[in-house]
Amino acid sequence: MSALLSARGLEFGPREAPVLRDVSLHVDPGEIVTLVGPNGSGKSTLLRLMIGALSPRRGKVTRTRGLRIGYVPQSLVLDASLPITVRRFLDLPLRVDDDAAEAALAQSGAGGLAGRQMAALSGGQFQRVLLARAVLNRPQLLILDEPTQGLDQPGQAAFYRRIAALRSEMGCAVLMVSHELHVVMSASDRVVCLNGHICCEGTPEVVSAAPAYRELFGTGTGGQLALYRHEHDHAHEGGGAAHHHHHPHAEG
Ligand SMILES: Nc1ncnc2c1ncn2[C@@H]1O[C@H](COP(=O)(O)OP(=O)(O)OP(=O)(O)O)[C@@H](O)[C@H]1O
């Protein structure tokens, strides 16, 4: 299977104080890849290199021909004195027909919000509308940069469950940055832990047990991850065929 998007040997930032060193990453069709890492570890920079908004000092990013990307920003500041409905917002920058708008809103959990003012939406509703705009052009790859900032924990969990559902419906791949480790890791196929370079990567279980990850984030989230994953499996598998029982070590 060839990757939708891949990067090889990326270097970015001043030679004497690089932001990113020797970073290689790929996203295959249909998979959910999550970037985690401390503040300032280069996560947003890497996303911007991957979409071509920045150029690396060394290395190369390759996109499959005609790749359709849907992008959900961290947040978006709208001028509250400039009224705009959700429906009109979806027409920016390109006008879309009503059926497509309605379908994208419904798919993103924002059905029924079309006539509402953007400025009057709650944080969670606003993020779902941003998601609707990102899915309008049937992306093969959704890219999300900390899309749940400002949402409470149930709101975050619901948002990431929606991302997983969208992936199943549309068959798109997802590349996202998140700080909500225990929530987001359970919804990922592969986690990449970044700290200027790639410290470790693999399935959520492998990464959360890796010494490099534990050094950066401690062991606190391991237990929560196991718990969440357990509940998650119950919700989706029902019959109990795929229980994951983890017993993370408590020591640091
Ligand atoms: N265009 C640029 N040129 C040089 N350095 C940059 C550029 N953009 C960002 N940086 C630096 O790169 C470092 C990493 O920033 P980045 O925003 O990628 O980190 P992050 O992991 O996304 O952080 P956070 O978790 O706080 O959002 C910062 O020190 C920042 O100042």
Residue 193 CA to residue 177 CA, distance in Å, equals 10
The atom number, within ligand 1, closest to the CA of 41 reads 21
Please report whether residue 17 resides in a domain: yes
Q: Which of the pair, 234 or 37, is modelled with greater confidence? A: 37
The atom number, within ligand 1, closest to the CA of 46 reads 18
178 Cβ closer than 6 Å to some ligand 1 atom = no
- Residue 90 phi, psi (nearest 5): -70, -15
Residue 235 CA to residue 222 CA, distance in Å, equals 20
Domain containing 215 equals 5-68+138-237
Strands 198-202 and 190-194: antiparallel
13 Cβ closer than 6 Å to some ligand 1 atom = yes
pLDDT digits (tens, 9 = 90+) for 60-100: 999 999 999 999 887 777 777 789 999 999 998 889 999 99
Nearest CA to ligand 1 atom 2: 13
ipTM of the complex: 0.92
Residue 140's alpha-carbon distances to 30, 64, 90, 192, in angstroms, are 8, 10, 19, 20
Q: In whole numbers, what is the pLDDT of the chain averaged over residues? A: 84
Share of the chain above pLDDT 90, in %: 58
Please report whether residue 131 resides in a domain: no
Q: What is the pLDDT of residue 229?
A: 46
Q: How far, in Å, from the CA of 70 to the mean position of ligand 1?
A: 22
Q: What is the pLDDT of residue 1?
A: 63
Q: Is the pLDDT of residue 33 over 80?
A: yes
Please report whether residue 73 resides in a domain: no
Please report whether residue 56 resides in a domain: yes
The atom number, within ligand 1, closest to the CA of 13 reads 4
Q: Is the pLDDT of residue 246 over 60?
A: no
Please report whether residue 48 resides in a domain: yes
Please report whether residue 185 resides in a domain: yes
What's the angle, vertex CA 41, arms to CA 40 and CA 47, rounded to 5? 100
Nearest CA to ligand 1 atom 11: 19
Give the contacts of 222 (CB within 8 A, at least 6 positions apart). Answer: 208, 209, 214, 246, 248, 249
Q: What is the pLDDT of residue 220?
A: 59
Q: How far, in Å, from the CA of 45 to the mean position of ligand 1?
A: 6
Q: How far, in Å, from the CA of 25 to the mean position of ligand 1?
A: 18
Please report whether residue 247 resides in a domain: no
Q: How many domains does the chain have?
A: 1
Structure-block tokens of residue 249: 């070590």
Task: Using only the alpha carbons of the chain, give its radius of gyration.
Answer: 19
Q: Which of 38-52, 90-104, 226-240 has the lowest mean pLDDT?
A: 226-240
Q: Is the pLDDT of residue 186 over 80?
A: no
Q: Which of the pair, 235 or 190, is modelled with greater confidence? A: 190
Longest dimension (CA), the chain: 56
**For the purposes of burial, counting CB atoms within 10 Å of the CB of 38, is it exposed (0-12), middle (13-18) or buried (19 or more)?**
middle
* CATH number of the domain residue 14 falls in: 3.40.50.300
Q: How far, in Å, from the CA of 175 to the mean position of ligand 1?
A: 18
Q: How far, in Å, from the CA of 74 to the mean position of ligand 1?
A: 14
Please report whether residue 14 resides in a domain: yes
| Best of 12, 20, 23, 44 for a ligand 1 pocket test (most atoms within 8 Å of beta carbon) | 44
Q: What is the pLDDT of residue 235?
A: 39
- How much is the average pLDDT of 153-162? 87
216 Cβ closer than 6 Å to some ligand 1 atom = no
15 Cβ closer than 6 Å to some ligand 1 atom = no
Structure-block tokens of residue 158: 């619901």
pLDDT digits (tens, 9 = 90+) for 219-232: 655 444 443 444 44
Q: What's at 70, amino acid-wise?
A: G
Q: Is 121 helix (H, G, I), strand (E, B) or coil?
A: coil
**pTM, two decimal places:** 0.83
42 Cβ closer than 6 Å to some ligand 1 atom = yes
